[in-house]
Each structure stands twice: as C-alpha cells, then as structure tokens.
Amino acid sequence: MIWQLTSCWTSLIRPLIFGLLLQPPVAQLSIITQPNIVLFMADDLGIGDVGCYGNDTIRTPNIDRLAKEGVKLTQHIAAAPLCTPSRAAFLTGRYPLRSGMDAVNNYRVIFWNGGSGGLPPNETTFARILQQQGYSTGLIGKWHQGVNCESRNDHCHHPLKHGFDYFYGMPFTLISDCQPTETPEMDRAFRRKLWFSTQMIGLAILTAALGRLTGLISVSWKTLTCLAGFSLLFFICWFSSYGFVRYWNCIMMRNHEVTEQPMVTDRTTSHILKESISFIERNKHKPFLLFLSFLHSHTPLITTKKFLGRSSHGLYGDNVEEMDWMVGQVLDVIDKEGLKNTTLVYFASDHGGWLERQEGQRQLGGWNGIYRGGKAMGGWEGGIRVPGIFRWPGVLPAGKVIDEPTSLMDIYPTVVNLAGGVLPQDRVIDGRDLMPLLQGMVEHSEHEFLFHYCGIHLHAARWHQKDSGAIWKAHYVTPIFRPLGAGACYDRGFCPCFGEGVTHHDPPLLFDLSQDPAEAKPLSADTEPLFDTVIKKIGRAIEEHRRTLTPVPEQLSMHNVVWKPWLQPCCGTFPFCWCDKEGDNKPANL
C-alpha cells in the first residue's frame, strides 16, 4: 500500500519537476526582486543618430548591443520637447504641467542655477521611492531641475532632496558659454538687445553732455549725472548676470559642495565616467539605482581628443561616438562585477535633436531620421520620439522590437514596481508599467491617449486605436517654419509655443502614424472616412484629461526664472566664486 502511494506521488511530482526544469530562463529569473537599475539618458540626441535606429554612418556599437540583447521601442515618446520639462516628467511619471514644470512664457527651461524655480519638493521621484525600498541611489551628470528656493544653501530642488543619496555633476545643463572659445549661446538674442540698449543710452547721455558743453541743449549737469548713474546701474544689473554666465551656470557639484566654478571642461567626461563606475563598484553588494545623465550630445559638444575627427558627421558625430563608448565602459563594469543578469539597463534621450543649432556651415544638432521637426517643437514627432532600449538578460527577450506607443513617464511605475515600492496614491501618475509589454505578457501598450504640450499649450494628441492598429495624431497648433519650406525655425533658433510664430488648426491636422510616421500627408474628411469620428474621440479624451489637471505654482514663471544673487551656488564668498577642488586645489584658469 505504501509502495502504491509512493508510486502515485512520484508519478504526480515527476511531470511537475520536469516541467519546471524545462521553463525558459525568463520564467526562472522573473522572480528576482529588486534588480539593480541603470538608466542612461542622452541630451538632445536624435532618434536618427543611433545605429540600431537606422544610422549607418555614426558608430554606436554599445547602444546597438543593448538593443540586440534586449528590447527596442520604436514609439518611445518624451512628455516634452525640451530638457527641464521632459526630465521632470521622467522623474515623476507625470506630465510636467502637473508639477508646474512647463512654461507660460518663452523661458521654457531652468535658466540659472541662481533661479528659484525647480522640481517642487512635494513631488515624489522614483529615486525617492527606491531609496525608501533600500536602494543606493545615485545621479551622475546633468540635473537641470533647479537648486535653491529662498537661500543659497536650502537646496530645496537639489537631487539629494529628491531621493538621490549621491550626486556628482552639473546642477544646470551644458551650454556653449561653458567653453570660452565658443560663441555664447544662452539667451543670445536678449543679450544683444541689452547691450544695444546700453549703448543707445550711453550715446544719448554723451550727446546730451556735448550739447550742454556747446550750449545747444539746455539741460542741467545734475540731470545728466542722474542719467549717467541710471545707465551705469542698468549696465551693472544685466552684466552681473549675463556677463558671468560661465561662473554662475557652468559649475560642477559633489552632493551639496561646489567642486569646480567654472567647470574644467577638458576633464568633465572622464570625471563623469569615473564617478559612474565608482558608484557601481561601491554599491555592488546591495540593490542600486544609477541615473547616468549624459552631458552628451548637447552643445558645445565637449569631446576628448581621443574621439575628435573619428566620425564622418563632424564634431556632433564624434561626440555621439564618445557617449556610446562611455555606455560600453559602464556595461563592461556591470559584466565584470557579475551584475549583468541582475541589472535592468535602459537607454533613452530626453527629447529630439536640435535642428536649428548651427554655427556657420557646422551642424551642431542631431538628426531625427524620417520624423518631422525637432527639439522645442511640442507636437511634431521629431521633437518627442526618442530611442528607448531595455536590457535585462534572462528576464527580457533579446532582439525584440515593440512598435507600440510608450512614454519616458513609463519608467517611473516600471522601476517602482520592480523595486517593490508603491505608487503614490494622492496624485495622478501618467506613466504605465512597461514590464508586461516588454516581457510579451500583453500585446498592446496601456496608453490609449498621449498628449503633447509645448509649454502649457496643448499642441497635439494621439489615439492608439488598438483594435485596428491605427495611431491617430491630431495637431491643433504647429510652429511656422522659417524660411518657408524649411523644416525648422531657423530664423529664431527655437520654435515658439504661441503667438505669431504658430498656426492654429481648425479642424486639426490629422495623421495616421501607422501609415504615415513622417507626418507628410495630413488627412481630411474627404480622404479619410473616419476623420470626424477620430477628431471627436480625441477631443473628448482631451476634455477628460484637462479635468484631471489642478492649478499648481508655476516653477518657470518670470519671477522664478530670473537670476537672484542670493540663490547663486558659490564655492567662495559671493561674488568671488571660483575654485577647482577636483584638480590641484588652485583656482581654475580664468
């Protein structure tokens, strides 16, 4: 009898054990809790700049390797076409409008380290939740989400106040002003106006003084002295900020300490790479989150001598190839430390390439492939469709391509759920967990609608009609390209969100991206039988979306954007702010 029970039990258990042994590695490793997470984010990289997305002249073997060993997303969408709002959405999983990180004016990004705007302290980043789950969290590279609120040392917007245990990098963003040999980039047109106004005021005072001396003008010396004082005060007011951009904005920090002011660009790349590798090596025995936020490929395209002249696309191509090499160096460390199978790696860009960025005949911005438009353009695909690659050997399939709408905001719930955290219940989270889609457990993205803003202005919206496979996109506002027939706003340097530089469409321009991803041929009621139905469907979705929005303080208001001396990070006694604590402790080369 015992033998019979044993035989029966064995006959039941044996197929079960055999079945478990035959399960693919994906099922075995899917029970891994709290994987390490490495997030790579490029700056201003166009989707057409990467080999695995169709570029056959810029060499990106390491990024391509991620795609070969993992999952490539072909419709990965940024929540905004500029750095500050896009990264705010990435960190919070929410449209930047919800946190006040989209602009009501033409100042659409954080403009000064000494400004008071930034990612609000009450926003919960994925880093904060992972930190609470026991992760070591580090941000290396670009922040661009603000620093201080009311005093120089309150650090209310600083990475360490938003869930990162460790920060090394730029609290601002790389700009051409950081390179003394380059033409100044920041607020270039406004600076020209200020300088011209100063010259006109000075010329008027000089003319009045000469007229007084020759008796042609009857004006008192007291009045002329007051006017001269006003002119000097006007000059000091604007030159104290714009005249020292390199010292105020081009700085490096380690945690709360300013280590380079101004930054020494020749060694920035090597320091960022060394810090990234060091963070992994220090934290390899516990779960960690590393957000490597590249300064590449933003102007002035700081590139080491090793990579200069290597690309057929000039300095921009050299810079992209160097970034790819940095990706490879970090991946090699992950492999060397035996962390490959327990680490989720993600690569993306914050938005599309900057088409208008040129100096003479040099093209310094990226390429967006077949997609129309680029950086700063709220609706056109070229400004918001970016590379999106995930790798996690054994858990995610290798070489898979997913042609479904996804968002940079999806990283938030994806990594929070992987870490065992709980999404905030007191606010709207616009991102969706991507793991079921990446693993092939579901066929379609959870996103039915995505909304595309330019500042606070809704420019376009898309509807994923899952039963038919159509991806409808309606444009309500588009920028006016100059010169006419060009593909960007070359006359301005940036396309505007509102005013005379845009066109409002009623009815909206409609495209089916599944058939026309380049947005070349708008549909109409005459050419598309579903035109009215689709427009009404998207319109209702926009109304529902707007009902979920609540008023919040505007972080990019004029008051928050302007430079405030009392908020300026400084490594000395203000205004004597210069140091080089990363070198030989001597002042930086002035």
Question: Which residue, 81, 83, 85, 89, is CA-closest to 352?
Answer: 81
pLDDT at position 13 is 43
3-state secondary structure 400-436: EEEEEEEEHHHHHHHHHHHCCCCCCCCCCCCCCCCHH
Most confident segment among 190-194, 311-315, 489-493, 522-526: 522-526
Q: What is the pLDDT of residues 322-376, one digit of tens each?
A: 999 999 999 999 999 999 999 999 999 999 999 999 888 788 999 999 999 999 9
List of residues 6+ apart from 181 with CB closer than 8 A: none
Lowest mean pLDDT among 7-16, 49-58, 396-405, 424-433: 7-16
Strand partners, 73: 388, 402
Query: Which of 8, 52, 76, 144 does the annotation list as catalytic?
Result: 144
> Looking at the whole model, is its pTM more than 0.75?
yes
The active-site residue out of 8, 52, 76, 83 is: 83
Residue 190 in 3-state DSSP? helix
Q: How far apart are CA 401 and CA 258, in angstroms?
A: 43
Quick one: pLDDT at residue 4? 43
Cα–Cα distance measured from residue 280 to residue 277, given in angstroms and rounded to the nearest whole number:
5
Contact (CB, 8 A) for 316 and 58 = no
Mean of all residue pLDDT scores within the chain: 91
At 314, which amino acid appears? Answer: G
For 73-134, where are the alpha helices, taking DSSP H only?
A: 83-92, 126-132
Could you tell me which of 342, 256, 351 has the C-alpha nearest to residue 36? 342
Residue 15: per-residue pLDDT = 44
Cα–Cα distance measured from residue 528 to residue 550, given in angstroms and rounded to the nearest whole number:
36
Q: How many helices (H) and strands (E) does the chain have?
A: 15, 17
pLDDT at 430 over 80: yes
Rounded mean pLDDT of 543-564? 97
Q: Which of 219-233, 348-362, 443-457, 462-476 has the lowest mean pLDDT?
A: 219-233
Q: What local confidence, expressed as pLDDT, does residue 3 receive?
A: 40
User: How high is the pLDDT of residue 27?
Assistant: 37
CA distance 527 to 515: 14
User: Mean of the pLDDT values across residues 70-99?
Assistant: 98
pLDDT on residue 223: 81
pLDDT of residue 197: 82
Q: What percent of the chain clears pLDDT 90, i.e. is strictly above it?
A: 80
Question: What confidence tens digit (pLDDT) does each residue in 557-589 have?
Answer: 999 999 999 999 999 999 999 999 997 544 333
What average pLDDT does the segment 7-16 reach? Answer: 43
What is the arithmetic mean of pLDDT over 190-214?
80
For residue 32, the model assigns a pLDDT of 65
Enumerate the β-bridge partners of residue 166.
138
Condensed to tens digits (0 to 9), the pLDDT of residues 375-385 reads 999 999 999 99
Could you give the 3-state DSSP secondary structure of residue 153?
Answer: coil
For Cα atoms 523, 525, 531, give the angle at the middle one, nearest 5 degrees. Answer: 75
> Is the pLDDT reported for residue 8 higher than 60?
no
Instruction: Assign 218 a pLDDT band (cuts: 50, 70, 90).
Output: confident
Q: Please name the amino acid found at residue 173.
A: T
Answer yes or no: 256 catalytic. no
Give the C-alpha separation, 438 to 411, whole Å: 12
3-class DSSP state for residue 15?
helix
Q: Distance between CA 407 and CA 384 in Å, rounded?
A: 10
Pick the more confident residue, 26 or 160. Answer: 160
Distances (CA, A) of 509 to 121, 405, 487, 496: 39, 20, 17, 18
Per the DSSP assignment, residues forming a β-bridge with 405 are 75
List Cβ neighbours of 15 (8 Å cut-off, separation of 6 or more).
none
Q: What is the mean predicted confidence (pLDDT) over 449-465?
A: 98
Active site residue 144: yes
**pLDDT band at residue 188 under the 50/70/90 scheme:** low
Q: What is the per-residue pLDDT for 406? A: 98
Per-residue pLDDT of 246-265, as tens digits, reads 999 999 999 999 999 999 99
